[in-house]
């Protein structure tokens, strides 16, 4: 009896000895192994308050792991240094991936507040690693002996990445300069978060409220109904609201007969971040650009663009400018021809005004209808979102033998989200794909793909990918399902291409999947070719009411109009690419007048007044929300050369699903990142890419 009492007392003492920190750790789902199938996040258990302590624990754990690597008395080897670091930081990476998912697609004030706290902590965490002199000495000693080591191709690539990362992360800086470098990174992390937060607020705001039926003239029924439901959700019963999200403002500009209202909505969209209020981003941009120049100079680079492009396929700013200019001249010429055609329609209709940027969508739609007897509303009924998703999945099945099975028993972070298990045709598990396709408050604009768990296979411990696709497409209404525009269809296929790239990767190391920013868009953009291919359209484009496949007549019209408006689309994109490069080839830290700098940039390159840059500086999230696409926005059209050339490889066989070509392309996707991307591309194509395929595709030749 006394023994039982002693055991009970000991048990009570143990329980009471648990500290609040330990108790929080036990209760925090981000800090324990997920027992879910496929180790997917238990979103139902994860709360905002879990993130900060989980981040702190995750960073502390990785710090201890790095200390163990650095203090290892054995001779530095790939295994005890590079591979050991590749295996580190599991909690930190898990927390960061979930947090990025939620702050991108389903954020709130609490998460944004945490974001402002953790951004500088993350910047400091990485600086602590890459500014660690002892760690760099280990990496440097391995790198010096790389030719004598028996490394695999992927290990050589990963070693090169780490050596380069340390150099670019300030490892060679002196003590005082290291502290300046840290401070710059901390400031940039906060400025990027603030920029993104401001544009999120701007994009979710209402750009136009209408309360008269006559103000809706020309708008399709679905657009009117969607605007009514948006207004109701915003507490504006009996009115119609158009937001600055693309699915809302684009059809208004295409179809509204009210030029004054089109201009008002377009200007609201164009001036996001440029209204002199609490969400204005001009001062943020001035600070970001100045700090990026200072950081580049600290590291020994002339400009931020020189720093960024060193690791890209383009290599340097001169190559990018030459590439852009080679496309700019024929694109601008075609855009001028298109502008003349739109002006002619304005004149023919008896209107006495000069074509303005806010008019382009409306008159382009009318010219397209007049020239090809085709408009967007004729196509929408055939692009029910569920059918488009099935079409994308069907392409992946025919190309790569992948099967997608919806799983309704896996937790999601929002009711709009669906989950699919991806398998090989023999039933082997490949990965998990979440899809999240409708706009809402709390989701940033645009479309993207990212991962919750990255694929790896260190030491034979295979980890399968868990990834997600996000979009902002037209929502279903009470009377109609979500019917996509053809542009939305291409975007869905585009992001699905990123997903396929990540699902098919078979690297050993997480870093073995890293590819240059001007290559990463190849797997996504090439998928757009299948989206519009006649054979593929017959697979998935079915009328949402009758279920009948899209008629051959409409397919022919899509094909014939394929080069329509390509001058405009290429020029507005190239203008933004020039703007990006001009900002990031600034040589000094003097803070610029943002609007004046932009005006001079676009004037210098000769942008015609009828077209605006795809993004104004004040809402250019690609280059200012984070560092990812800064001096890299050109990468989309660089990769467009690759994707047009790659799809031509399929077309040349006479079968867009040719098995041998698909097998070779799958190999390219599987290995991308674990070898030089140009070598991999030449292995696939038998030669370097040819720009001719892109010029022909866009009618710019």
Please answer whether residues 424 and 430 qualify as being in contact, where contact means their C-beta atoms are separated by less than 8 angstroms.
Answer: yes
633/642 Cα distance (integer angstroms): 16
Residues 504, 493 contacting (CB under 8 angstroms): no
Q: Is 495 a catalytic residue?
A: yes
Selecting among 86, 376, 495, 598, the annotated active-site residue is 495
Structure tokens belonging to residue 572: 């507005």
- Both tokens of 543, joined, read 């009328």
- What is the rounded CA–CA span in Å between residue 108 and residue 39? 25
Quick one: tokens of 37? 């199938």
Per DSSP, the residues of 29-72 read GGGS---SGGG---TTT--GGGHHHHHHHHHHHHHHHHHHHHT-
| Cα angle 377, 572, 190; round to 5 | 105
Distance in angstroms (rounded) separating the CA atoms of residues 227 and 233 = 10
Decide if 98 contacts 33 (C-beta within 8 A): no
Rounded to the nearest 5 percent, the helix, strand and coil shares of the chain are 60, 5, 30
User: Concatenated DSSP letters for 271-290?
Assistant: TTT-SSSTT--HHHHHHHHH
* Crossing angle of helices 659-671 and 385-400, rounded to 10°: 100
**How, if at all, do strands 206-210 and 240-243 pair?**
antiparallel
C-alpha pair distances (Å), 449 with each of 17, 39, 59, 446, 573: 45, 19, 25, 11, 21
CA distances from 382 to 250, 386, 487 (A): 19, 11, 13
What's phi and psi for 419, nearest 5 deg?
-125, 135
How far is residue 656's CA from residue 670's CA, in Å, rounded to a whole number? 20
Indicate which residues carry an active-site annotation: 495
């Amino acid at each position: 009896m006394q023994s039982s009492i002693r055991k009970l007392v000991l048990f009570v003492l143990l329980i009471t000895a648990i500290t609040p920190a330990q108790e929080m750790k036990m209760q925090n789902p981000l800090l324990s192994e997920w027992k879910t199938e496929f180790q997917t996040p238990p979103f139902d258990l994860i709360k905002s308050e879990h993130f900060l302590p989980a981040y702190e624990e995750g960073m502390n754990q990785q710090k201890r792991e790095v200390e163990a690597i650095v203090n290892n008395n054995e001779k530095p080897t790939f295994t005890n240094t590079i591979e050991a670091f590749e295996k580190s930081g599991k909690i930190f990476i898990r927390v960061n991936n979930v947090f990025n998912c939620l702050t991108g697609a389903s954020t709130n004030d609490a998460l944004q507040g945490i974001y402002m706290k953790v951004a500088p902590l993350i910047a400091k965490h990485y600086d602590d690693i890459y500014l660690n002199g002892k760690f760099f000495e280990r990496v440097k000693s391995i790198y010096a002996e790389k030719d004598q080591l028996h490394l695999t191709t992927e290990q050589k690539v990963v070693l090169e990445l780490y050596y380069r990362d340390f150099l670019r992360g300030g490892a060679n800086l002196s003590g005082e300069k290291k502290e300046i470098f840290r401070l710059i990174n901390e400031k940039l992390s906060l400025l990027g978060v603030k920029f993104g937060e401001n544009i999120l607020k701007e994009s979710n705001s209402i750009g136009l409220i209408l309360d008269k039926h006559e103000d809706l003239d020309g708008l399709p029924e679905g657009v009117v109904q969607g605007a009514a439901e948006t207004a109701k959700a915003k507490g504006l019963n009996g009115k119609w609201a158009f937001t600055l999200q693309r699915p809302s403002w684009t059809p208004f500009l295409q179809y509204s007969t009210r030029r004054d209202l089109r201009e008002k909505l377009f200007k609201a969209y164009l001036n996001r971040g440029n209204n002199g209020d609490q969400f204005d981003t001009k001062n943020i941009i001035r600070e970001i650009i100045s700090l990026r120049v200072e950081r580049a100079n600290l590291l020994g680079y002339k400009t931020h663009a020189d720093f960024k492009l060193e690791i890209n396929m383009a290599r340097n700013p001169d190559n990018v400018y030459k590439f852009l200019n080679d496309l700019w001249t024929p694109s601008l010429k075609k855009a001028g021809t298109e502008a003349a055609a739109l002006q002619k329609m304005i004149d023919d209709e008896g209107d006495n005004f000069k074509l303005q940027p806010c008019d382009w969508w409306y008159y382009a739609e009318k010219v397209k209808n007049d020239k090809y007897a085709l408009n967007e509303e004729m196509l929408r009924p055939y692009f029910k979102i569920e059918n488009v998703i099935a079409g994308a999945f069907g392409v992946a099945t025919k190309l790569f033998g992948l099967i997608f099975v919806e799983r309704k028993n896996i937790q999601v972070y929002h009711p709009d989200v669906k989950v699919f298990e991806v398998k090989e045709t023999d039933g082997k598990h490949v990965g998990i794909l979440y899809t999240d396709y409708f706009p809402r408050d709390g989701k940033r604009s645009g479309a993207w793909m990212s991962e919750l768990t990255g694929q790896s296979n260190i030491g034979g411990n295979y980890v399968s990918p868990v990834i997600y696709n996000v979009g902002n497409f037209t929502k279903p209404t009470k009377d109609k399902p979500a019917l996509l525009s053809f542009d939305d269809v291409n975007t869905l296929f585009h992001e699905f291409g990123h997903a396929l790239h990540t699902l098919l990767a078979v690297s050993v190391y997480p870093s073995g999947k890293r590819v240059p920013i001007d290559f990463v868009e190849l797997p996504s953009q090439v998928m757009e070719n299948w989206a519009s291919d006649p054979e593929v359209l017959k697979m998935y484009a079915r009328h949402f009411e009758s279920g009948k496949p899209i008629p051959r007549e409409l397919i022919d019209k899509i094909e014939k109009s394929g080069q329509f408006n390509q001058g405009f689309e290429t020029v507005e994109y190239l203008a933004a690419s020039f703007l990006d490069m001009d900002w990031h080839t600034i040589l000094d830290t003097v803070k610029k007048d943002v609007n004046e700098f932009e005006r001079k940039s676009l004037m210098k390159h000769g942008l015609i007044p009828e077209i605006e840059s795809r993004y104004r500086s004040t809402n250019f999230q690609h280059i200012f929300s984070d560092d990812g696409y800064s001096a890299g926005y050109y990468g989309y059209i660089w990769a467009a050369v690759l994707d047009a050339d790659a799809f031509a490889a399929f077309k040349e066989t006479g079968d867009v699903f040719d098995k041998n070509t698909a097998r070779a392309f799958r190999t390219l996707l599987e290995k991308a990142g674990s070898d030089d991307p140009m070598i991999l591309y030449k292995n696939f194509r038998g030669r370097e890419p040819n720009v001719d395929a892109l010029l022909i595709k866009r009618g710019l030749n």
